[in-house]
Structure 1
């Protein structure tokens, strides 16, 4: 059923569009279409049929918020047709100016489908976002222009983050990897329903950036995800970047949060008594109180080797991983995104202080030796003078990019090759730009780093950035190239 209406619905703009109803096995879903036209000289072009805010799993709510997700068998029985014309709230995470708390909710396991036409049979690209934000960040305007236009169905998902998704006592009351189990149910929904939206369930590519790329890597290793997808695209992330052993899980960040949030003595950690005390505490705590502890002491949440989702270490699982065709890459100066403070004053001592912060258990001599080895290895024999703050800013960025990003991604590629996978394509983004996301690392003199997240505007063509900023011809060319490369890979491998 298609109806022509003037849409003020909850769309960002008033538009002449059609409401489109699709019948799924879980109930009817109603979205809308939008036509930018075919003039590729315009900033936005292309046509898409759009379905926003479709539940792909039953979100655990209230006292069950720390449980695993469940399959959703039927959409709201009180409503004849599910309204898929607007984005749903993001999962809980620390709020900021760009994502206020009133845009978040524990009922957040939704996805969005953007398709060229529901009557087609197009390759499918399922996107897993990074460690913050939500599926609405990757808006339909840019997705239609840079991806859907090329003849693919794009699905964006959101999943539980931080403490909500990864805090664990390694028991049934607080199981590990809840956010990853959320993610598994999304491609499972795609396999079951995407044909109703014009997608080909036999050609599914999962792709992600940052923590989303780490998720792609983890899903490729998990026996629970086999058969749900067929190709991978990873940008700026691999399994090795966010992984915990069982010993790590039973201590570290989880005990730290239990002590600070609930005052729990972590002796007998994981016992029924301690789990009960934690449950009583967390049920009474507001989501705002819980997420306020997400980044205490700089510790972050990681995926656990839990015996099920990841039954073993990544290196061992990689030996039996299916030979997925994979497009894997990074950006040139990833670590510039994480530079803090005034980079114009950075020196060799600053570099050593960073090492101490990252490895607090190292003694003074070991930390200095590690820092010196890195400096010698990345400086190509020419170490900047202390007064050369620009030189130290660049060198420190190169060191941190190598040790935190490139080295781990290279190992992932090597594991693919050792397992006999030859369908691998590698890339590095080297285009420097003043597009806002590309300058997030901070500018020192005339240095504009190609920082972590610099690739995102060229894939997703964010409307607010491209409409507000005077992009160069080179920026447009890079966006066209990357959108074409991503979609060509999803279509042809």
Structure 2
């Protein structure tokens, strides 16, 4: 009785209630699970059957730390699936990052669980399946921050979310067999494979799986598109605000691993001893050492543990694999928000006095630290930085500190998100895949009210609409519900329909928008998403040309001159 009351309490925080009868028990290859039913605040008669915290892998602890995941050991009887599993260990408290109350806030290395939300458990229904990969820079976040019940209910799709290993535990690499790296990606592969093998019993079609994600989830999706391990596991892909160029491969992982070992008092010379030492450290020590590494050794905006070419999940760089047509030619929907680096990322990165303006000197210093992973500038870093600053200078207000700050947000957003997304679109179409491209301009009303007027559609603004947040009573940490407007609800319905249509057919076009054309390099059409959407051609073409053609040519010429 107490457990039932607790479940009802945390579900009611998110504006959902448990069903009186409860959903049926569902069988999986690992064992039987019993969940709950939830409802959106606008469809009180349409239950969404919800199964939370289902293990898809054995706990990656002890000798399994820094190794590929192994399947979960099957269980006897019926496993309760009414609460989400703990988040994977991470260096920040999500409750202090997210503006709303989380269903749970615990973390544990035993975190490899998934969640299923479905409008049916009839195995014959064969609904499209959307598998969500969460964001958080591959170092924070969790699969179940908010329910996807509105997307499942309004669009009759099955939605799956899951946790995967993060940061040091998910992406440390010694560059050899002792810690090849990409463990978080391997978790994702196993989770998607679990879905493909079991989702039919939850009403889903295993041959119509779409993987989708935002930010780190978006670039995780793009890495799966080029990974041989992921081939055949999904039919379509959606990358929101992130592709592999947003977080490029780490070229010197052993150097970073040794720096981390030093912070934790481990010998870094012998890689086997290094990994054994890190396996023995309590997770709290690992997180503390991870924080020290970022503070002491890693430049602003750079993450120490990133994807690597491990010869297994990733056999070469994504750029090479696409050029050699070794990527999966899946249908691909990808895009960005129109001001990706406008507010959230610089604020969360603790930029000094961000929002109050920026001097030329600070802008230049931050840029030089930020371009290291995005521009192959060899010894010409200062010349490249000067060219970038000049290209983005506001010539009408060249010394205005607010204008300088605004241009900094634009150049960083273009470098990290817009230009890499267009490169990925060009590469995927060149490799034989079909692409639909977008730029989202809609800002949820409560976020617009809380930010300065000069901020456009910022990083994560799309997430609220795709998840269907306006159709849940989401409680802020202050205790009030988020005041979603009728316009928010209209835009959320539109984006949920676009995403679900793409998962169903490969064509995202909805009932109220013009036909969404396929993107090609000869006709780079994209959809400008808003309450009234429109088809445009050439996403930020001048700025994208600058990053994707002018800057590489400047770097090539500088490198030639040095020789």
TM-score bracket for this pair, using the shorter chain length: 0.7 to 0.9
Deviations 1:26-73 (A, max 9, x none): 211111213447x56xxx884301100111111221243222100225
Moved more, 224-233 or 411-420: 411-420
For 2:66 and 2:21, how far apart are their aligned partners in 1? 39
Cα distance per residue 1:281-330 (max 9 Å; x no partner): x2442212111233413441211011111111212212121221111011
Does residue 424 of structure 2 align to residue 412 of structure 1? yes
Q: Work out the CA distance in 1 between the residues paired with 2:160 and 2:171.
A: 23
Task: From 477, 483, 491, give the equivalent of 2:496.
Answer: 483
Alpha-carbon distance between aligned partners in 1 of 2:422 and 2:62, rounded to the nearest angstrom: 42
Question: Quick one: distance in 1 between partners of 2:45 and 2:222?
Answer: 33
Residues 353-364 of structure 1 mapped to structure 2, 5 A cutoff: 353-358=365-370
Q: Verify: 1:91 aligned to 2:98, yes or no.
A: no
Q: CA deviation at 1:384?
A: 2.6
**2:19–2:36 CA contact under 8 A, matched in 1:** no
Question: Whole-Å Cα distance in 2 between the matches of residues 401 and 359 of structure 1?
Answer: 12
Determine the structure 2 residue equivalent to 1:171. 176
State the 1:399 CA deviation. 0.5
The aligned residue for residue 384 of structure 2 is 370
Shift of 1:97: 5.8
Give the C-alpha shift of residue 357 in structure 1.
2.4
- Which residue of 245, 249, 253 maps to 2:253? 249
Three-state SS of the structure 1 residue aligned to 2:356 is helix
Separation (CA, whole Å) in 2 of partners of 1:155 and 1:91: 17
CA contact (8 A) 1:352 1:371 kept: yes
Q: Is the 8 A contact 2:50 2:118 kept in 1?
A: yes
- Aligned pair in 2 of structure 1 residues 402, 218: CA closer, same or farther (>3 Å)? same
By how many angstroms is 1:459 displaced? 1.3
Map 1:423-434; keep pairs closer than 5 Å.
423-434=434-445
TM-score (norm. length: structure 2): 0.76
| Equivalent pair of 2:364/2:389 in contact (CA under 8 Å) | no
> Is the contact between residue 226 and residue 314 of structure 2 (CA under 8 Å) also seen in structure 1?
yes
What displacement does 1:24 show? 1.7
Q: Which residue of 2 aligns with 1:122?
A: 127
Give the Cα–Cα distance (whole angstroms) in 2 for the partners of residues 403 and 203 of structure 1: 33
Give the TM-score normalised by structure 1: 0.86
Cα gap change, 1:350 to 1:47, in 2 (>3 Å): same
Q: Distance in 2 between matches of 1:433 and 1:106?
A: 34
**Residue in 2 aligned with 1:136?**
144
**Which of these residues, 460, 469, 474, is aligned with residue 487 of structure 2?**
474
Structure 2 runs not aligned, ≥5 long: 97-101, 507-563
Structure 2 partner of 1:325: 331
1:259 and 1:110 mapped to 2: Cα distance?
A: 32
Q: Does 1:459 align with 2:466?
A: yes
In structure 1, how many angstroms separate the alpha carbons of the residues matched to 2:395 and 2:90? 43
1:348, 1:392 within 8 Å by CA — same for their partners in 2?
yes
- Within-5 A mapping of 1:125-274: 125-131=130-136, 132-137=140-145, 139-140=146-147, 143-244=148-249, 247-251=251-255, 253-264=256-267, 266=268, 268=269, 271=270, 274=271
Deviation at 1:378? 3.3
Higher mean displacement: 467-476 or 331-340:
467-476
8 A Cα contact 1:262 1:278, kept in partner: no
Q: Is the 8 A contact 2:7 2:82 kept in 1?
A: yes
Counterpart contact for 1:243–1:305, Cα < 8 Å: no
Residue 215 of structure 1 and its aligned partner are, at CA, apart by: 0.7
Q: State the distance in 1 between where 2:247 and 2:201 align.
A: 35
Q: Are residue 60 (structure 1) and residue 60 (structure 2) matched?
A: yes
SS at match of 2:232: coil
**Secondary structure in 2 matching 1:345:** coil
The correspondence for 2:288, drawn from 279, 288, 292, is 292
More strand by share: 1
| 1:302–1:32 distance in 2 versus 1, CA, 3 Å | same
Whether contact under 8 Å (2:117, 2:149) holds in the other structure is yes
Inter-partner Cα distance in structure 1 for 2:432 and 2:19: 52
CA distance in 1, matches of 2:337, 2:46: 28
State the distance in 2 between where 1:169 and 1:432 align: 42
Q: Is the 1:46–1:149 contact (alpha carbons within 8 Å) kept by the matching residues of 2?
A: no
Cα pair distance change 1:97/1:233, threshold 3 Å: closer
**What's the C-alpha RMSD, in Å, of the aligned pairs?**
2.7
Q: Which residue of 1 aligns with 2:319?
A: 315
Structure 2 counterpart SS, 1:356: helix
